[in-house]
Amino acid sequence: MKTTRNTTAKSAILELIKNSEVALSHAEIQKMNQELCDRVTIYRILDRLVNEDVIHKIATPEGTIKYAACHHSHDHHQHTHNHVHFSCEKCQSVTCLDSVEPSFKLPDNYLVKEVNFTLSGLCPSCVKIISK
């Protein structure tokens, strides 16, 4: 019985993340799935989905971890999470900007394995509100 519930919860959490236009925190996922499973199970499912490379973690400037669906390329080559994220200072939304590649120059003898590049400011929705 526990396996079925875990599978149901995992599927529900994955669908929730895939269908969200913004990255979601553990607390937001828990709030949306109150009846499905407890907070520890949600942590386990999120860890499993990260390990399966289906979702990725994003650390916000405030230190909150949010989760977003991975966008695998159609040619099935290994994808990376080395894209830019945008964190809105007003509404706290975090979005993946897959089409923006971070650019930086490192001194010799450094080997980059992962990039966590987060820009912060105002998202398009919040800019519209301010400019009215």
pLDDT tens digits for 26-51?
Answer: 999 999 987 788 899 999 999 999 99
CATH number at 15 reads: 1.10.10.10
Q: What is the pTM of this model?
A: 0.77
The yes-or-no verdict on residue 75 having pLDDT over 50 is: no
Inter-residue contact 9 to 41 (CB < 8 Å): yes
pLDDT of 67 strictly over 50: yes
User: Whole-angstrom Cα distance, residue 74 to residue 98?
Assistant: 14
Total tally of structural domains belonging to the chain = 1
Q: Which domain holds residue 92?
A: 2-131
Arithmetic mean of pLDDT, 70-75? 60
